[in-house]
Amino acid sequence: MATSFKFGTEGWRGIIARDFTFDNVRACAQGVASYLVSSDVAHRGLIIGYDNRFASEDFAAAVAEVIAGNGIKAYLCPKATPTPVVSYGVIANKAAGAVIITASHNPAIWNGIKYKAEFGGSAPFEVLDAIQKRTPSSAAAVKHIPLAEGLKQGLIEYLDLAPPYLKQIAELIDLERLRQAGLKVVIDPMYGAAIGYLKTILAGGSTEAVEINGERNPLFPGINPEPIAKNLTKLSAMVRELGADVGLATDGDSDRIAVMDENGVLLTPHQVYPLLALYFLEVRGQRGAIIKALNASDMLYRLGELFSVPVYESLVGFRHVCELMCEQDALIAGDGSGGHAFCGHAPERDGILGGLYFLDFMTQTGKKPSQLLDYLYSKVGPHYCERADVQCPVGEWNAIARRIAESKPSELGGLKVTRFDTSDGIRFRLADGSWLLIRFSISDSMVRFYAEASSPSHAEMLLKVAQDLSQI
């Protein structure tokens, strides 16, 4: 049995049947069980959730068998469950943590494991490292009992996490106001774990919620379950066809949200996050720190200045965002890919709640998404953030980074470089306030390029400069 996999920022992803095998999943589960025993929290039990990917429920059952085989209570979700629902379930049930079988937005041939700590958020690196070190290399070291036996002994219990989550959501937002708002909303769960959630929450009033891609299909036909423009053409067409007020999309495990405006134009994550921050600061009148990953928009800094709240920057990866959010007791936290966490809730991304908050922003202001964006720009000035992804073998990354570091250009695209930062990837801040970031993504074997400027053409130019600089 080969257990050469390595955890990333939240867990481990692999190609099904090549890396992501039952043997490797059981070995990983044994590492989790051994860690829980060593941490003296095993008595609290472990929650096990899964998404709609191929055989996710079977991999989840295999994890439950190993956890139970180590004498630890396994709370197994009876159906595909969104990651934010599982994360909140850890808090609601005072569990020791959670294992979630999901590969999030990756293509259909991938699956993976996310691990959530006892506070309901992404586990710190030292926890993932401790689990990895306890993961055995031999199948003989894996303890497990059959699912039926675990159920019979009471070591495995099916647990529906939706009721406590829905109760929590109802305490955070006035759902009746949304149901009676008369909005027409098109929802795309992208064949993922959030199927039915937003549609059910919004049902019962004058608001009309239409769901597309609302059936399980592990092939994710024609798309990857990542809420970006090329995967949301059906949502765009449906918004225009129905004359909808807004479109909402969640990724494969529903911890990310995307917003389509009333014209079928997708707002970028770098626009959605500042809009949600503005909603909290102005509409809800709340105050508190804002946490942004370094690949998120600088509009958040402008909002911090306008409303006199601090803005803190973290490394990319929601584990880092989450740690800083907890440390600062923040109002809102987010990254540059559509993930947001909110005060009074689990310190973890929640695409379902993020979508509901956006609808409430529309309801309370009477504005459609494009109008909200214009309103944001009237306060902070126009900002346009663009991203480009280039497939690149991991083995070439060091050479690329070395080339850029050695060149250390004093100007990019005719603009003076005012700051050169290598804290997480390679970032250039330029004299006119624009910025450029080059990062390496382990989970996707890609080089990601980000640029933010005062016009789309300027941002696109910076992306081209970055790719030329990287020579890929």
**pLDDT truncated to tens, each residue of the chain (472 aa)?**
445 677 776 789 999 999 999 999 999 999 999 999 999 899 999 999 999 999 999 999 999 999 999 999 999 999 999 999 999 999 999 999 999 999 999 999 999 999 999 999 999 889 999 999 999 988 899 999 999 999 999 999 999 999 999 999 999 999 999 999 999 999 999 999 999 999 999 999 999 999 999 999 999 999 999 999 999 999 999 999 999 999 999 999 999 999 999 999 999 999 999 999 999 999 999 999 999 999 999 999 999 999 999 999 999 888 899 999 999 999 999 998 899 999 999 999 999 999 999 999 999 999 999 999 999 999 999 999 988 888 887 777 788 888 877 777 888 888 899 998 888 888 999 999 999 999 887 666 788 899 999 999 999 999 998 888 887 7
Q: What is the model's pLDDT at position 207?
A: 98
Phi, psi values for residue 240, rounded to 5°: -70, -40
| Residues 7, 132 contacting (CB under 8 angstroms) | yes
For residue 44, give Cα distances in angstroms to 39, 132, 256. 11, 21, 28
- Among 354, 466, 347, 363, which Cα is nearest to 417's? 466
Distance CA 117, CA 46 (A): 10
Q: What is the DSSP letter of 132?
A: H
Mapped onto helix, strand or coil, the DSSP state of residue 63 is helix
* Domain ranges for the chain: 11-161, 173-380, 384-470
Contact 104, 14 (CB under 8 A): no
To which H or E segment does residue 3 belong?
A: none
Q: Does residue 310 sit in helix, strand or coil?
A: coil
Q: How many helices (H) and strands (E) does the chain have?
A: 16, 20
Q: How far apart are CA 408 and CA 401, in angstroms?
A: 11
Q: What is the CATH number of domain 11-161?
A: 3.40.120.10
Structure tokens at 261: 């405006």
Give φ, ψ of 436 to 5 degrees. -140, 135
Q: Do residues 333 and 340 make contact, with C-beta atoms less than 8 angstroms apart? A: yes
Tokens of 90: 């850890």
Integer CA distances (angstroms), 313 to 25, 164, 301, 332, 427, in order: 34, 32, 10, 12, 13
Same fold flag, 11-161 and 173-380:
yes
Q: Which of 79, 73, 41, 45 is nearest to 60 (CA)?
A: 79
377-422 pLDDT, tens per residue?
999 999 999 888 888 877 777 888 888 777 778 888 888 999 988 8
> Mind giving me the DSSP string for 136-198?
-SSGGG-----HHHHHHHTSEEE---HHHHHHHHHHHS-HHHHHTS--EEEEE-TTSTTTTHH
CB 192 within 8 A of CB 79: no
Contact 238, 247 (CB under 8 A): yes
User: Residue 155 contacts by C-beta under 8 Å, 6 or more apart in sequence?
Assistant: 68, 71, 72, 73, 74, 145
Report d(CA 247, CA 417) in Å as an integer.
Answer: 39
**78 is written with which tokens?**
């009876």
pLDDT reported for residue 1: 46
| Residue 140, CA atoms < 13 Å, CB-side half-sphere | 0
The SS3 assignment for 211 reads strand
Say which CATH topology domain 384-470 has.
Answer: TATA-Binding Protein (3.30.310)
This prediction has a pTM of: 0.94
Strands 246-250 and 426-430: unpaired
| CATH architecture for residues 173-380 | 3-Layer(aba) Sandwich (3.40)
Q: What is the pLDDT of residue 4?
A: 61
Nearest to 277 by CA among 181, 341, 347: 341
**Separation in Å, CA 400 to CA 160, 214, 408, 467:** 47, 42, 12, 10
